[in-house]
Amino acid sequence: MRFIIHGVGAVGGTIAAELSRAGHEVLGIARGAQLEALRSGGLTLRTPDGTSHARFPCVAAPDEIAFRPDDAIFLCMKTQDTMAALQSLRAAGVTDQPVFCTQNGIENERMAQRIFPDVHGITVLLPAQFLVPGEVACFGTPKVGLLDIGRFPSGIDDTDRAVAAAFAGTGIEAQTLDDVMRAKNGKLLVNLANIVGAAFGDGADTKKIKARVQAEGEAVLTAAGFGWDDVMNDPRRETHLRFGEVAGVDRAGSSSAQSLARAAGSIETDYLNGEIALLGRLHGVPTPANSWLAALAARLVREGSGPGSVPVEAFTSAMRGA
């Protein structure tokens, strides 16, 4: 099996490095300065347990790849970039190779299945951070991350088992789940707080805001008939995944905070809090907090605002009477 890692950023880079160092065949798809750095010097992965280095071939786009029947394609980009990636994969000749949505949110699998027949979900608990081109930090220890793997919309097949087995020799703990979307629904609820920390800053008192957005999320998922797992209390976390310190690296917060800090030009909030807003509108459940936060995130990106640039009082004022 060859692993195609489409989007060699923080999460994709960590996965690519771990698989490559374990002896698996890896081919990355990256862009810009990251692609140049990966081609010239490989990828450096910094963790609480030390620094490692991995080299694997990388290309700029799928049309540079001669795809094989044994390819497993991992989508590791943000959801706002998923459809363009899927279309480029199809244009490059991908047909029935398995596609693994290694992403936050629950919309990627639906998008992928519009185009490809063999779609799988992966729930990602992997606290990674992009540092500079060619260098990624991951704060998980003793494992750098946990993955739940299964077919979309449900079930487990031999490909899922083979992919999970491939991670056995890596720093990533992986398991198969018969209903992986329950776990992804649970991760979605956790990720609703991403923009809260990103907008108001990690030092702000946001407990009530986080509780409100999660309560709206749970009400919406219940109305939609979606079950969820409590992924943050996964028993594997006790033994396999704790947060540690990486020497010389300060944590930049959630992926949303990192997007604002890097002025990336886009943010995945429309597929996190925006997902709750969408489902709320479809099922008649009010979602004022998540809807407001999704609009706020779009404004912060448009204005080039950094993390922690919004006072908590802005939320309090907006929610009066809501």
Render pLDDT for 187-201 as a digit per residue (tens, 0 to 9). 999 999 999 999 999
What is the distance between the alpha carbons of residues 130 and 11, in angstroms, rounded to a whole number? 9
Asked if the model's pLDDT at residue 128 lies above 80, the reply is yes
Residue entry with tokens 């990720």:
191
How many structural domains comprise the chain?
1
Instruction: Look at residue 19 in the predicted model and tell me its pLDDT.
Output: 98
Asked if the model's pLDDT at residue 295 lies above 90, the reply is yes
Residue 112: strand, helix, or coil: helix
Spatial contact of 6 and 90, defined as CB atoms under 8 Å apart: no
Quick one: tokens of 163? Answer: 């992919």
What is the distance between the alpha carbons of residues 307 and 198, in angstroms, rounded to a whole number? 5
Spatial contact of 9 and 33, defined as CB atoms under 8 Å apart: no
| 261 band by pLDDT with thresholds 50, 70 and 90 | confident
Residue 139's CATH number: 3.40.50.720
Q: Which residues contact residue 229 at a Cβ distance below 8 angstroms, ignoring those fewer than 6 apart? A: 182, 183, 185, 186
Render pLDDT for 135-148 as a digit per residue (tens, 0 to 9). 999 999 999 999 99
Angle made by CA atoms 292, 298, 302, in degrees to the nearest 5: 140
The model carries a pTM of: 0.95
Q: Where are the alpha helices (DSSP H) in 121-228?
A: 158-166, 180-191, 194-200, 207-224
* Bridge pairing between strands 128-132 and 58-59: unpaired
Render pLDDT for 70-94 as a digit per residue (tens, 0 to 9). 999 999 999 999 999 999 999 999 9
The larger pLDDT score, comparing residue 254 to residue 181, is at 181
Asked if the model's pLDDT at residue 39 lies above 90, the reply is yes
Range of the domain at 146: 2-318
Is the bond preceding residue 288 a cis peptide, omega within 30 degrees?
Answer: no
Asked if the model's pLDDT at residue 25 lies above 90, the reply is yes
